[in-house]
Amino acid sequence: MTASGTYLGAGRQRVHPLTPVLKAWKGLTALIVVLVVNFGTGVVTGAAAVAGAAGDTPLVTVALGSAGVVVLIVLVGAVSMWSWSKRFFELDAEELRIGHGILFRQRRTARYDRVQSVDIRQPLIPRLLGLGELTVETAGGADSALVISYLKVPELERLRAEILAATRTRPVPGGAAAPRPAPGRAPSGLSASELSASELSAPGPAASGPTASGPTASGPAVAEPPAPGRVAPGMPYPMPDAEPGRILAGPVPARMLFGMIALSFGFGALTVIAGAAVAWFAGGGVVGAVIALGGLFGLIWVPLDRFWRQTLTLNEESRRLKITAGLASTRKQTVPLHRIHALRVRRPFLWRGPGWAELNSSIAGYGASDEQSGDTVLVAVGTDASVEANAATVLDRIGAADRTPIRHWRSPERAKWLSPIDWSRQSVSLSQAGISATWGRLSEKASVVPWRHVQGAALTQGPLQRRLGIAHVQAAVVAGPAQVVARDLAVDDARALLAEILEDRRAGRLR
């Protein structure tokens, strides 16, 4: 799908007018619940008086009650409109800006050369209204996401396409910004597939003047932001969803997803059911049992909503992965391949019967996944063969293809005093592709990081490890679930591994 306008250089844009209400609906709901629980009788009596149901209620009381309700509604509406008028986003030649706040105004910016990914999310209530939000992840780890809430989905698609196109601009030596590409085209006549990861991620200086084909950040002042959806005329941008891609995994079958939930949270579910039974027989009655069983609903609902029909798609031309998932709240997540720094394959004990595994990752700029950050899980559940194949596909594009071990170390037998269950499964290997480590017996895990994403390494020893002559070596990788740690190696092996990693860093080799 294409659009007929462009946000770039169009000045400040407003979000949807319902944004303040949708942002505050959880708080309003909680307030109503508190009022009903604590003042239920008074609220019912007051409502009856306002409606004239109480025959002995004076007319003045009814009028005052009605006026109070009207004034409250007007005040809430006025504050919402005031808050909406202070919310904006803006795309200029160099960066994205967002702002909001009445008494305490907040302004945040994201340079295009710092953008990690651009994702679309649709929480349940906004989704029912055809609205969603755009999350722009930037370098910086936790709390680095800029969120634009809320817009119509077609507007979000257009905005995401423009931001992704802007990230492909390469800096020009000498301090001037390169001319921005025509919409849908890569700069300097190159296709998107010809742009290297270093070109996409290398930071450049801010532009000090106008660009050859785009406006400057200090363009004409805009007195009032236009209404939602009104943008400056320009060439259409290709929508990312319209780009060709190869499905690597998914959609996750419902039976496999329910099986994953049952095998992952079965013990927790039994605990919750036992708690409900105890609450019932201990005198808590129906209310206590229902509250206890509410925890069971949460155990099932959270992963179900998060991974429902999860699909992983690879776009070779733009070198991006696209992840779509969600039942009540949906998300469309785009991850540039060069932002994936490490991978982890996990096989929980109960998953080995059906032969299932999970593929997770550490992505630059995401840190620990939260409500605003993107999801680092590439494949929530799949067969062992498919997960291994998908991991190999991603590794082939972010590092060397040859993963044959060159050096290999294992935990010595004396490590069983600290890791009696896992010691025989703990190992680490070096290859042309990078560093890989395996550990875990009850829950098998294997992580790998390409050499280009290894930022260093550290050797650590606790008091008991020193007495046993063993040590850990951890490769420095961006924050995330995929971490490479060589556990409980003999000290000589740990020092040899550390020397290999540090020598690679000093030599600047990309094997």
Mind listing the pLDDT tens digit for each residue in 103-139? 888 888 888 888 888 889 998 888 999 999 998 888 7
In contact, 474 and 454? CB cutoff 8 Å: no
Give, rounded to a whole angstrom, the gap between the first and last alpha carbons of the chain.
41
In contact, 221 and 274? CB cutoff 8 Å: no
Tell the residue number behind the tokens 């004239």, with chain if given.
52
Confidence of residue 503 (pLDDT cuts 50, 70, 90): confident
Q: Which pLDDT belongs to residue 179? A: 40
The tokens for 65 are 């009650």
Q: What distance in Å separates the CA atoms of residue 155 and residue 150, rounded to the nearest whole number?
A: 10
Tell me: pLDDT of 467 over 90: yes
Confidence of residue 446 (pLDDT cuts 50, 70, 90): very high
**What are the backbone dihedrals phi and psi of residue 459, each rounded to the nearest 5 degrees, phi first?**
-105, 130
Across the chain, mean pLDDT equals: 76
How many C-beta atoms surround the C-beta of residue 235 within 10 A?
A: 13
* Most confident range, picked from 185-194, 253-262, 500-509: 253-262
In contact, 357 and 346? CB cutoff 8 Å: yes
Q: What distance in Å separates the CA atoms of residue 377 and residue 361, rounded to the nearest whole number?
A: 6
Q: Cα–chain-centroid distance for residue 41? A: 44
Query: What percent of the chain shows pLDDT beyond 70?
Result: 67
Q: Which pLDDT belongs to residue 106? A: 85
272 vs 490, residue with greater confidence: 490
Please determine, looking at this structure, whether the domain spanning 12-168 carries the CATH number 2.30.29.30: yes
Give the CA count within 13 Å in the CB-facing half-sphere of 490: 9
123 vs 277, residue with greater confidence: 123
What CA–CA distances, in Å, run from 426 to 101, 122, 335, 436, 444?
52, 41, 31, 11, 10
Query: What percent of the chain shows pLDDT beyond 90?
Result: 30
Q: Which pLDDT belongs to residue 435? A: 93
Q: Which pLDDT belongs to residue 80? A: 80
What pairs with residue 344 in β-bridges?
Answer: 360, 447
Q: What distance in Å separates the CA atoms of residue 195 and residue 435, rounded to the nearest whole number?
A: 26
511 vs 402, residue with greater confidence: 402
* Of 272, 332, 343, 344, the residue nearest 301 (C-alpha): 272
* Of 161, 4, 165, 16, the residue nearest 81 (C-alpha): 16
- The residues spanned by each domain of the chain are 12-168, 247-397, 399-507
Whether pTM > 0.85 for this model: the answer is no
* Most confident range, picked from 1-15, 34-48, 119-133: 119-133
Q: Which pLDDT belongs to residue 76? A: 76
Mean pLDDT of 393-417: 89
The pLDDT tens digits for 343-366 are 999 999 999 999 999 999 998 877
Q: Which pLDDT belongs to residue 285? A: 56
